[in-house]
A and B are shown apart, each in its own frame.
Chain A
Amino acid sequence: MTLLDLSGVVVRYGAGDVLKGLDLSVAEGEIVALLGANGAGKSTTLRAISGLVAPASGAIRFAGQPIGGKSPESIVRLGISHVPEGRRVFPGLTVRENILLGASNRRGVKRRVLEGEVDAMLAFFSDLKRLEHALGWTLSGGQLQMVAVARGLMAQPRLLLLDEPSLGLAPLIVQQVFRIVADIRARGTTVLLVEQNAHMALSVADRGYVLETGRLLLQGKPDELWSNPKVRAAYLGGAAGAIPGTP
Chain B
Amino acid sequence: MSALAARPWRGLPAAALATLAALVVAWLAPAQGYYLNILMQASTYAIAVVGLVVVLGYCGQISIAQAAFFGIGAYAVAIGTVDFGLNFFVALALGVALAGVLGLLLGLGSLRLGGHYLAMVTISFQQILTLVLTNWIDLTHGPDGVRDIPRPTLLGVSFAGGNAFLALCLVALVLVTLAVWRLKSHRLGRAMQAVRDNDLAAGTCGIDVFGTKVIAFGLSAVLGGLGGGFFAVGFRYISPDQFGFAESIVLLTMALLGGVQSPFGALVGTGLLVVLPEWLRFLRQVYLAVYGAAVILIMVFLPDGLWGFVSARLSRRALPDATHVPPLPLLSQTGRESAELVLSVEGLAKYFGGLKALDGVDLAVRRGTVHALIGPNGSGKTTFINVITGLYRPTAGRIRFAGRDVTALPPHRRNRAGLARTFQNIRLFRGMTVLENVMVGAERAGNDVAGDPAAVVRRALAALDFVDQRGDAFRLVGTLSYGHQRYVEIARALAGSPAMLLLDEPAAGLNMTEKHALGLLLRRLKGHGLTILIVDHDMTLVEQVADHITVLNFGRRIADGLPAEVLANPDVIAAYLGEPRRHDAA
User: Taking beta carbons and an 8 Å cutoff, which residues of A are in contact with B?
Assistant: 13-14, 35-39, 43, 85-86, 127, 131, 138-143, 145-146, 164, 167-175, 196-199, 233-239, 241-242, 244
Contact = CB atoms under 8 A, between A and B. Distances in A.
B512 A237 contact: yes
9 contacts: A38-B509, A138-B352, A142-B378, A170-B375, A172-B376, A196-B510, A196-B512, A199-B512, A237-B515
Interface SS of chain A: loop
A146 B378 CA distance: 11
Nearest to B573: A172
Given A142-B378, A174-B537, A85 B509 contact: yes
B479 to A, nearest CB: 7
B4 interface: no
A19 to B, nearest CB: 13
A39 B377 contact: no
B513 A141 contact: no
A21 B12 CA distance: 48
| Interface footprint category on B | 35 or more
Nearest to A172: B578
A64 B483 CA distance: 35
Given A170-B576, A174-B537, A244 B585 contact: yes
A185 to B, nearest CB: 21
Contact of B539 (A139, A171, A234, A241): A171
B511 A196 contact: yes
Contacts of B509: 38, 85, 164, 167, 196
Contact of A171 (B424, B480, B515, B577): B577
B378 A127 contact: yes
Contact of A37 (B508, B511, B516): B511
Given A85-B482, A140-B382, A198 B512 contact: yes
Contact of A239 (B376, B378, B586): B586
B144 interface: no
B485 to A, nearest CB: 9
B514 interface: yes
A46 to B, nearest CB: 13
Contacts of A169: 377, 537
B489 interface: no
Interface in B370-393: 375-379, 381-382
Contacts of B376: 127, 142, 170, 172-173
Contacts, number: 112
B479 A146 contact: no
Interface of B: 352, 355, 375-379, 381-382, 424-425, 479-484, 505, 508-516, 537, 539-540, 575-579, 585-586
Contacts of B425: 86, 141
B576 A141 contact: no
Contacts of A140: 377-379, 381-382
Contact of A172 (B505, B513, B577, B586): B577
B200 to A, nearest CB: 15
A39 B483 contact: yes
Contacts of B540: 239
A113 to B, nearest CB: 29
B537 A241 contact: no
B508 A167 contact: yes
Given A14-B479, A38-B484, A237-B512, 20 more contacts: A35-B511, A37-B513, A38-B514, A39-B483, A85-B482, A127-B376, A127-B378, A138-B355, A140-B377, A141-B377, A167-B508, A168-B424, A168-B508, A171-B578, A172-B575, A175-B579, A196-B509, A196-B511, A237-B513, A244-B585
Contacts of B482: 38, 43, 85
Contacts of B539: 171
B514 A37 contact: yes
B12 to A, nearest CB: 33
B516 A237 contact: yes
Contact of A168 (B379, B505, B579): B505
Given A13-B479, A170-B376, A241 B586 contact: yes
A141 B512 CA distance: 21
Contact of A170 (B355, B377, B512): B377
B513 to A, nearest CB: 6
B537 A171 contact: yes
Nearest to A37: B511
Contacts of B382: 140-141
Contacts of A241: 585-586
A196 B486 CA distance: 15
B510 to A, nearest CB: 6
8 nearest A-B pairs in the assembled complex, by CB-CB distance: A142-B377, A237-B512, A38-B483, A172-B578, A39-B481, A140-B378, A196-B511, A38-B481
